[in-house]
Amino acid sequence: MGSFSEASPEQQAAEQKAAELKERGNRHLAARDSASALRCYAEGLEQLGNPETEGGPPTSRWLRSLGFSLGSSHQLSAALHSNSAQALMKQRRWIEAIDHCNRALRHDPAHSKSSWRGATAAIEVGMHDVAFSFVENGLEETPGCEELLELSRKLGPLPDSPRQLPPGGSDDEEMNLSDFKLPSEAEKDAARSGKPVREHQPGKEKGD
């Protein structure tokens, strides 16, 4: 399977450094040092710059249908954003975690860890429509993901009320945090005082 784009020597060096920072961050995360992990992930993202193209990268399903895979910069960026989300969840910073999951999925729509983490963080702040969107979009890309299927069963069907959409929006538009009403400060405070994220889902608590 080919790559969507060929990296220059400079980009390859940046990707290698970013990968090293990701692994260092993963070690910090495993040692329960989420602050140091976040710093490593942020430095890794700085190394990569902004590999996003205007309008986001082509969907992974479309690329796979042509025999291509996402470029390594997109894969690394997705992992770094997703791992940042996991570290933020350890600190109970749910809204920031959701934002990083959205960013990860712009780089790699099939990144199931980001879908699961985004949905889990959204549940913690009562943003159930956002949680549904993460799960639904994730299952479109990875329909066999057991963790997403289990979360879908736990969430149950959507309420009868229509999902909140931006003016002129439609259900098939890309999910974005800005499309939804964020919780109030009081709701955030209540979320912070709630129970921590349960660590019973295999694979989703580890860095990529």
Fold for 9-192, please state it. Answer: 1.25.40
At residue 50, the pLDDT reads 65
Q: φ and ψ at 94, to 5 degrees?
A: -65, -45
Across 75-102, average pLDDT: 97
Listed as own residue / partner, the contacts of 10-16 with beta carbons closer than 8 Å and 24 or more positions apart are 11/73, 14/47, 14/48, 14/49, 15/47, 15/48, 15/72, 15/73, 15/76
Percent of the chain with pLDDT over 70: 62
Read off the pLDDT of residues 148-204 as tens digits, 9 standing for 90 and up: 999 999 998 766 544 444 334 334 334 444 444 444 555 545 544 444 444 434 345
Range ranked top by mean pLDDT from 48-57, 67-76, 96-105: 96-105
pLDDT in tens, 127-150: 999 999 999 999 999 999 999 999
- For residue 46, give the H/E element and its range: helix 34-48
